[in-house]
Structure 1
């Protein structure tokens, strides 16, 4: 067999292997997520965590430049050879992507590990949302002393990175599976492109750095950091990371972290209610402190500045990416953490 066919063939083998692997989540959980990945992630974050800038962003930048250079340099190359070379590159990247992090997409779902139901009724959603409104109002007023004032987070972004550890430490006392060690949390060097793409942050699977968009409205910044940290400890599902990030936020002693988590969850819950029952949505909306609604307007105004065809294209791409990685709801899976929240807090206080 010619060498140029080896890596493309390996790509096909990987795809078939992953289709089979999806039937063995317990094996992935035991040997990868709680085994090999623990060592891989610890090594990556130990080596790169103290570097003050995003190594992963630089690697991405160099890779993009090199690919453009390669295609320009080999523009006269036979198109079939270009395809085989491209498939070889994709094959290697695909292997590293899964080996270094993405096998976590195939682990046991969190609702099974924590014995949380997934189904809920409209009444359950409304009851939880009412509880959430009370709690969010309470924290907003504790910060501002005025129901009409929006929350302005006084912390610097670097201090927020450090403060996130308190929430995870507290959370790990109750659930050791959420233990977070060896921090590697950074502001993305590609924050402006991320904003145009409509993303608040991402985990670099090759370097295990939690990348956060440093242009985000500050009231929501802590929640995004907590979400990306959940990816770092081995959770691939966006709904699970929203849920873990929420709990790490509300368990943080800092009120601004609590508010960031609560206001984010409330927005998702109100959106779900609005999609089903406009009358109920309007009834609940008047119970929310005006200052919280001001923060929502702040966020909407921010994203509207960057609302172009670019974010729609990337969201469509990301939707397909999630669906191909065990998240059948695609980009809607972000809101599925409401299922986990409602059932987890059904007989508990939000704290």
Structure 2
């Protein structure tokens, strides 16, 4: 009987301290997230420790031919099954079991927070990109949004005319390079290096299945810090996959702010030598402008949209039809959850942060005199 009692006691001796260590590390890491100055994080984490983390991840998980997220989900399912088994097979009264379960969960969450911040999350507190680039951001008026929408449309007409085989039908996967991920990575690395940012490792943007796994929750992609990979919903229209992949790569290179990653996607595609990539990235930005303009002048937007070349209209129609094939599941819940997550990371405007790209692009173009 003494030997039987010693086994669960030994197991508890191993797991309880580990849980306490995880909880302590999680609290300390979060305190650092709140207290460390932006300049310190920029210099010593984003341009220091994270550079090593990025390379370590990319030359381990990054070489997998499939998203490491699949392995992570499998590991979580294993832990859940193991926990249920131990709960049912364990000895002691319900109070002891609940206490042990609570300690385990607190430790698990602590380790999760600690690794989230260590592997990527501190990048939310780095210096804003506009400060590093010397950009002055100002909200756009309705008239400025309208003018930007017209200007981008003019650029789209020119770019689409340069795409081999592009006619009045919507573009398809055949219009984009097979090594899209490599091309986008090289373009983004070049832009970051030219502006004094490190671009370490081999950031990935992998397609994830089943199709619609993100789209049904009003999302298109995901950067998963615990595996260090960007993911793009395979159900996206090929035109949209370009901008989303470039956006997730921006996260992978150490930028947490959503508007900043939208901006990185724009400048990555803006400078692309491939006209299809340049077109797709700028069409994604045009859709953001159009969505904002549509809110204040629905009739004006519709009139302008109908004046666009048939090929561009076909692309917009194809994107919309594809999105409609994956209706949202619990859109309000997703909005509340992700909005709360972004605010917890210090992004005060929450999900509206995505639209910060409008101010960034405008300021960048003015600085470049474009």
**TM-score (norm. length: structure 1):** 0.88
Matches within 5 A, 1:328-347: 328-346=348-366
C-alpha contact 2:140 2:359 (8 A) present in aligned 1: no
Deviations 1:167-214 (A, max 9, x none): 225424632416364243322245542232232221221221222222
Query: Could you say what secondary structure the match of 2:162 adopts?
Result: helix
Which of these residues, 19, 36, 55, is aligned with residue 42 of structure 1? Answer: 55
Which of these residues, 119, 126, 149, is aligned with residue 169 of structure 2? Answer: 149
Matches within 5 A, 1:140-219: 140-143=160-163, 148-154=168-174, 159-172=179-192, 174-177=194-197, 179=199, 181-189=201-209, 191-219=211-239
Change (3 A) 1:26 1:173: closer
C-alpha contact 2:176 2:276 (8 A) present in aligned 1: no
Structure 1 equivalent of residue 318 of structure 2: 298
Distance 1:298 1:147 in 2: 14
Structure 2 equivalent of residue 58 of structure 1: 71
Distance 2:202 2:317 in 1: 36
Query: Could you say what secondary structure the match of 1:49 adopts?
Result: helix
Distance 2:74 2:178 in 1: 23
Shift of 1:31: 0.4
C-alpha contact 1:197 1:312 (8 A) present in aligned 2: no
Query: Could you say what secondary structure the match of 1:345 adopts?
Result: helix
C-alpha contact 2:51 2:198 (8 A) present in aligned 1: no
C-alpha contact 1:200 1:212 (8 A) present in aligned 2: yes
Shift of 1:142: 2.7
Which of these residues, 114, 125, 150, is aligned with residue 133 of structure 2? Answer: 114
Distance 2:312 2:198 in 1: 29
Structure 1 equivalent of residue 43 of structure 2: 30
C-alpha contact 1:152 1:218 (8 A) present in aligned 2: yes
Which of these residues, 27, 30, 34, is aligned with residue 19 of structure 1? Answer: 34
C-alpha contact 1:48 1:55 (8 A) present in aligned 2: yes
**TM-score (norm. length: structure 2):** 0.84
| Residues paired across the two proteins, number | 347
Distance 2:177 2:166 in 1: 25
Structure 1 equivalent of residue 260 of structure 2: 240
Matches within 5 A, 1:271-290: 271-290=291-310
Question: Do structure 1's residue 70 and structure 2's residue 90 form an aligned pair?
Answer: no
Structure 1 equivalent of residue 155 of structure 2: 135
Question: Do structure 1's residue 83 and structure 2's residue 115 form an aligned pair?
Answer: no
C-alpha contact 1:219 1:260 (8 A) present in aligned 2: yes
Structure 2: unaligned runs, 5 residues or longer: 1-15, 89-93
Change (3 A) 1:20 1:154: same
Structure 1: unaligned runs, 5 residues or longer: none
Change (3 A) 1:192 1:272: closer
Matches within 5 A, 1:293-332: 293-332=313-352
Structure 2 equivalent of residue 93 of structure 1: 112
Query: Could you say what secondary structure the match of 1:18 adopts?
Result: helix
Shift of 1:228: 1.0
Shift of 1:220: 1.4
- Give the superposed CA RMSD: 2.6
Shift of 1:230: 0.8
Please identify, of 62-71 and 256-265, the stretch whose mean Cα deviation from structure 2 is larger. Answer: 62-71
Change (3 A) 1:347 1:16: closer
C-alpha contact 1:166 1:252 (8 A) present in aligned 2: no
Distance 1:18 1:173 in 2: 26
Please identify, of 55-64 and 336-345, the stretch whose mean Cα deviation from structure 2 is larger. Answer: 55-64
Query: Could you say what secondary structure the match of 1:143 adopts?
Result: coil
C-alpha contact 1:202 1:211 (8 A) present in aligned 2: yes
Please identify, of 321-330 and 236-245, the stretch whose mean Cα deviation from structure 2 is larger. Answer: 321-330
Structure showing greater Rg: 2
